[in-house]
Amino acid sequence: MANDFENGTESQTPSPALLTRREAVWRVSAMLGGVALVGGTSLLAACERGERPAAAADGAYKPVGKFTAQQVALLDEIADTILPTTARSPGAKAAATGAFMALMVTDSYRAPEQQVFTDGLAKIDAATQQAHRVGFMQATPAQRTAVLTALDREAKTYMDARERAKTLAAASGQRVERGPQAPPEGTQVITDKQAASDSADKNLPDQRQENAGTGEIASGTVAADAPAHYFRMMKELAMLGFFTSEIGYTKAMRYVESPGRYEPCAPYAPGDRAWAPHA
């Protein structure tokens, strides 16, 4: 199976017993059209280096890659706020999603994206302190949800602006390359309310993301090759890690190991669990 990845090909009849988590990542990423691959195609190169232990069996946190034990714990809580425990399924924390996120960023992301991601952890904690006078780890579930909901809106504004910049660059015949840009100086800070009421083209978030997570967005146009917003990275990695875990596959989704005959019209009602994808 490893040779299939190294050769850039996929086995046509893989054994279910050999379906590892890294292959599940590969398949889910292909199914999503690469939307979760914020770090780019380097994900597959990282898979070739092999897997590493993600979390301690006793529940104690350990450093993972470039991340400290405290940062892994924070990632776990962020992921669990995005994908909490429900009556049907344990949440992202039970699936050690924080350790998965740390490993993916360490092995798959380029240095500029790693910096944006790790800086984002400090910004989330600072935003929680500003809004609720406690750190994210000490905040209540409702407080955490409020902070991440605001960041989700901010990330959407930022990413929409970047897509518009890419469209404009493509229309003008410019070649768009992803990479870090020198930050512009003298940016003016505006509030979310001002950004919503003013012209979108005048108040796009700054590519440095220096005010992200504070409820404020710096004015200026987002470059087409600017890094993704850090919370977009976190949200996508949390979803990818959870839904390729055993808990995500078998608890949050419905997984049939041997599906048997093809059922083109299976009954499905609103609220039912989705079917887990098969190899």
Query: What is this structure's pTM?
Result: 0.66
Q: Which residue has the tokens 């602006």?
A: 161
Adjacent-strand bridge partners of 67: 64
Residue 107: its H or E element? helix 97-108
The predicted-structure confidence for 68-80, as pLDDT tens digits, reads as follows: 999 999 999 999 9
The predicted-structure confidence for 75-132, as pLDDT tens digits, reads as follows: 999 999 999 999 989 999 999 999 999 999 999 999 999 999 999 999 999 999 999 9
Does the structure show a pLDDT above 50 at 263? yes
**What span, in angstroms and rounded, lies between the C-alpha atoms of 108 and 91?**
24
Q: Is the CB of residue 255 less than 8 Å from the CB of residue 249? A: yes
Predicted local confidence at residue 195, as pLDDT: 39
For the record, the structure tokens of 58 come out as 């006793």
**β strands within 122-245, DSSP E:** 189-191, 216-218
Predicted local confidence at residue 275, as pLDDT: 75
Residue 94 DSSP label = G
Rg (CA), the chain: 20
Does the structure show a pLDDT above 70 at 161? yes
**What span, in angstroms and rounded, lies between the C-alpha atoms of 200 and 161?**
9
